[in-house]
Structure 1
């Protein structure tokens, strides 16, 4: 059993990146070669000091994550960036590089998907059999995960209540997937538009993305895990899937490691932007947990459907959506109809004194210039030709290499 930590004592951050070939810009299903080059032999996980590398479901995505819990978020941008530089150096002879953002703008999942074929592959094969993972919602999604600890039921209650409340606003801060297969999708956060339905064969897994109103371990098992176990049983005859692994809500409780993992964050153009977003989300959660905003009873009363109804249009319009539900806005001490962009500006104003100045620039660019999705669309203009899309996304890959925030 892993060590238990108290609220906001430590954090775990995970960043997913796609590998693409330099010339064709197509997905490069060579994560096994990358990991082999680094380790000297094929391994699914590599510890590289503060950061660990691992494979994912598809052969063209690598995950970088904090190597165990960390209590220092302010040095992580630098640590992740050093690993990005090392990976790109290893990929150079393989004529490929890392590509940021939550979705490849030109990938054809039916043609360009290869599942990971090595360790753990029987789990992935089973997933593929049930859900057919050759779709954008499976093979063209890169996200940032934020893991936050809780010590006991009392802390779980506070943290889960606060996270449920903030989930609908997250795409308005970090949407980064506005283009698929060379076309504007009409959604700033197309990754989440797919996320809602990519497990429709077994709806118990994702639910309504917003988790149910459950605030204790016993309730969580009864309300969320038991229905998941029942629903998967006919498909998982060998009993290889774990209920923690199967739960696909936008925030999932990991009682095996006493943490809640937030999954609605689209990955950005560079670790500097990713960490700025993570820090802002965490500081706003602290305001909710430590009673600087609405009291916990008010936070707990929200039904998943009510919160989903706020999330859904924000998946489409991100920061530009205007929220008119005054009951919801009152949770954040806001009394009138307001855009999601201005909610985040308001929350940043409340949290700024607790945010290290190294994050200010990235947060302020996002709040003033718009989500990465908005900035990508601005850079594309009206030219959705393949050369122009490649040009813009190559600039995003440069931002990743240089750890700089993208401005069109």
Structure 2
């Protein structure tokens, strides 16, 4: 979103989706993202531009990122655009007997034996990460997300957007959890990806903080309270200063002042772009209501304790929509009058309030109805798998999810 420093609130949208490359028959990961990029570009490269869309490499060779090429003017048409890119990538993967696989985590990959890091250009940053953290674990090599970049045009706009995002962030896994299986087992969490994400840099806890970002509402405060302490903490491990940059920040939403945007990073990749974009639009419309003070004043939104938000977030990783919020003041900021509510009820309230917006095409609205009535993708997967599925059971469900991706259809078992 390089041009977005000129864009005001909700005047552009950067979306990125990460997909796994797997063998069509076995679903084992295939570390060939460089081959895909090369097949499209005609030469080895880390980025391919395709008009309004682009592809790029990630830390590991079995993951490919599809994204908008700069900020898109609106979100609804992106479901179709991302799907067209998926179709193109799958065509390029066919000669390798490979295909793209969606969801937040590969269900049975062994990250300690199967991880291959990107070895080509810009690999020195990846090597620095690997040296400090050992990027073999799930928290590095097996966590596929959908990122939403929202622009701000001034420090004032940054503050308002950051305040709104902090309030909504802990609620998002109740819509987007899509990683219930890891290491070939049902993990007991709906969002296993975010649990490993939360803990993968424990050596330097300041890098991710509590995932929900601190209550800071200006660039100067952000620098003083988030960036500088983090850079000081990693400095002993990073003498070349390769990582002391804003990308080091691993909170669930990170300020990218260099491009004038906040990036929300906690949405698990869904079964198809239609589902991802439905979540992204719903989240965006709720943020618009908060920023415009429909339910609560900006001054009050700033006062919410990070500890409270982080506890809701942590609970949501296990319980998803059934997570309970028992803080009346927080609920009041979100426009609810009761003293306690589940995340399911909160999203129902949000949907009732925003669904008349013209951005919700019939297709997007139907997708949101599926999420709110039939549950997160994790819950829909677990309905089929039960608590102790065999590897064959897991393969069968994830094969279906690869078909959902190829056809841009929601998974409704």
- Give the TM-score taking structure 2 as reference length: 0.97
Report what 2:268 is aligned to.
266
3-state SS of the aligned residue for 1:154?
Answer: helix
Q: Deviations over 1:116-152 (max 9, x none)?
A: 1111111111101111111111111000000000011
Report what 1:341 is aligned to.
344
Of 241, 248, 251, the residue aligned with 2:253 is 251
Q: Deviations over 1:203-242 (max 9, x none)?
A: 1110111111110011110001111111121111222224
Q: Deviations over 1:266-293 (max 9, x none)?
A: 1100000000000000000000001111
* Larger CA deviation: 238-247 vs 13-22: 238-247
**Is this contact kept in 2: 1:165–1:307, CA < 8 A?**
yes
Of 402, 406, 410, the residue aligned with 1:405 is 410
The answer on 1:104 being equivalent to 2:106 is yes
What's the CA shift for 1:383? 5.1
3-state SS of the aligned residue for 2:355?
Answer: helix
In 2, Cα distance between the equivalents of 1:243 and 1:228?
10
Report what 1:351 is aligned to.
354
In 1, Cα distance between the equivalents of 2:73 and 2:356?
18
Report what 2:381 is aligned to.
376
Of 158, 164, 171, the residue aligned with 1:156 is 158
In 1, Cα distance between the equivalents of 2:403 and 2:176?
19
In 1, Cα distance between the equivalents of 2:190 and 2:386?
15
Q: Deviations over 1:90-132 (max 9, x none)?
A: 0000011000000011111111111111111111111011111
Report what 1:72 is aligned to.
74
Q: Deviations over 1:293-340 (max 9, x none)?
A: 111111100121121011110111111222222221111221222221
- Superposed CA RMSD in Å reads 1.0
**Is this contact kept in 2: 1:187–1:317, CA < 8 A?**
yes
**Is this contact kept in 2: 1:4–1:257, CA < 8 A?**
no
Alignment of 1:6-405 (within 5 A): 6-336=8-338, 337-354=340-357, 355-357=359-361, 358-382=363-387, 384-405=389-410
**Is this contact kept in 1: 2:278–2:368, CA < 8 A?**
yes
3-state SS of the aligned residue for 2:205?
Answer: coil
Q: Deviations over 1:1-41 (max 9, x none)?
A: 74411000001000000000112211110001111111111
3-state SS of the aligned residue for 2:118?
Answer: coil
3-state SS of the aligned residue for 1:168?
Answer: helix
* Larger CA deviation: 340-349 vs 325-334: 325-334
Structure 1 residues without counterparts, runs of 5 or longer: none
In 2, Cα distance between the equivalents of 1:382 and 1:311?
24
In 2, Cα distance between the equivalents of 1:69 and 1:9?
9
3-state SS of the aligned residue for 1:16?
Answer: strand
What's the CA shift for 1:356? 2.1
Structure 2 residues without counterparts, runs of 5 or longer: none
In 2, Cα distance between the equivalents of 1:201 and 1:116?
23
In 1, Cα distance between the equivalents of 2:88 and 2:248?
32
**Is this contact kept in 2: 1:228–1:243, CA < 8 A?**
no
* Larger CA deviation: 26-35 vs 351-360: 351-360
Q: Deviations over 1:375-397 (max 9, x none)?
A: 01012135511111000000000
In 1, Cα distance between the equivalents of 2:284 and 2:121?
33
